[in-house]
Amino acid sequence: MDRTERWNDAKLAALLDLLRRRRETVTTVESCTGGLLAGRITDIPGSSDVFHQGFITYCDEAKARLAGVSRDTLAKYTAVSSQTAREMARGGAKSAGADACLSVTGYAGPPQGPEDDTVGLVYAGCFYRGKTLVKELHLAGNRRRIREAAVEEALLLLEESLTSSAV
């Protein structure tokens, strides 16, 4: 299956239906994807049963205020780190009162100079039932493609979290 077909509407609808059957909700805390993940979820009719809100935390202040990311974490590890993605996922779930939370933070590009090798570095996180998974990603392509791939990877984390948890 092509990566662009991985999250067709039917597959995403089935994942949201699993949340619905469990009477659980999901939220998002996004940085580099700027709401693209929440938008993808809300493309699905009936998603409002399980998705009530999402947060776009494009700057450090928003990450701290809306998702409870520690200013110490941001200072020590930066906004683009596994530690920050972990705190975004946990804090977002708490702030939204959601059962699950997906987080995405990273560098979508373009490069800030010829020596900039950070473009495509993205961390995706998923908090669910007290556990947080974080994945470091090295994505290729232009800004749009990196953001779309980050959404795909975050949805994979949600799928992994939901299917590995007993009901």
Assess whether pLDDT exceeds 90 at residue 3.
Answer: no
**Is 70 exceeded by the pLDDT of residue 15?**
yes
Which tens digits make up the pLDDT trace of 67-112? 999 999 999 999 999 999 999 999 999 999 999 999 999 999 987 7
Per DSSP, the three-state class of 59 is coil
Q: Which residues of 34-66 are buried (b: 16+ CB within 10 A; e: fewer)?
A: eebbbebbeebeebeebbeebbbbeebeebbeb
Average pLDDT score over the chain: 94
Phi, psi (degrees; rounded to nearest 5) at 150: -65, -40
* Alpha-carbon gap, residue 154 to 156, rounded angstroms: 5
Q: What is the pLDDT of residues 35-72, one digit of tens each?
A: 999 999 999 999 999 999 999 999 999 999 999 999 99
Domains and CATH numbers, the chain: 3-164 (3.90.950.20)
* pTM, full prediction: 0.94
Is pLDDT above 80 for 147? yes
pLDDT the model gives residue 4: 47
Least-confidence region, from 2-6, 18-22, 70-74, 109-113: 2-6
Q: Once rounded to an integer, what is the mean pLDDT over residues 137-160?
A: 97
**Mean per-residue pLDDT for 114-138?**
94
Structure tokens at 107: 């560098």
Position 5 confidence tier, pLDDT thresholds 50, 70, 90: low
Q: What is the mean pLDDT of residues 11-24?
A: 97
Q: Which amino acid is at 25?
A: T
